[in-house]
Amino acid sequence: MSDQIHVEVVYALHDRQKSVVVALPSGASVREAVERSGLLAEFPEIDLTKNKLGIWNKLAKPDAVVRDKDRVEIYRPLIADPKEVRRQRAAEGKVMKKGGGDAEAA
């Protein structure tokens, strides 16, 4: 077994995605992969105390060990809470349904 592994680290913006393949020693962590990728310098908005990390679309802790050919993902913070957005849409739909149309049309 080789002492070195290769891991892809990705960060997606709304208009583009940046992907970097890094060579790491076997037993390296998710945090080490992100730090070695250079993405922290390129995208100063990434804050490892706030941004969540994942491996192959599953949340992972920064100290999780990566394996050869893993894909480490840096997630952007959500702009809006999806549950709250659904609640608002549902509330708006209920209000519209209760009214049954314009009062003048009746």
Rounded to whole angstroms, the Cα distance separating 8 from 34 reads 9
Residue 32: its pLDDT value, please?
96
Of the pLDDT bands very low, low, confident and very high (cuts 50, 70, 90), residue 93 is confident
**What CATH number should be reported for the domain whose range is 4-77?**
3.10.20.30
| Average model confidence (pLDDT) across the chain | 86
- H or E, element range at 98: helix 82-99
Token pair of 2, please? 């080789």
Contact indicator for 29, 63 with CB cutoff of 8 Å:
yes
Give the CA angle between residues 99, 100, 105 to the nearest 5°. Answer: 105
pTM for the model stands at 0.71
Domains of the chain, residue spans: 4-77
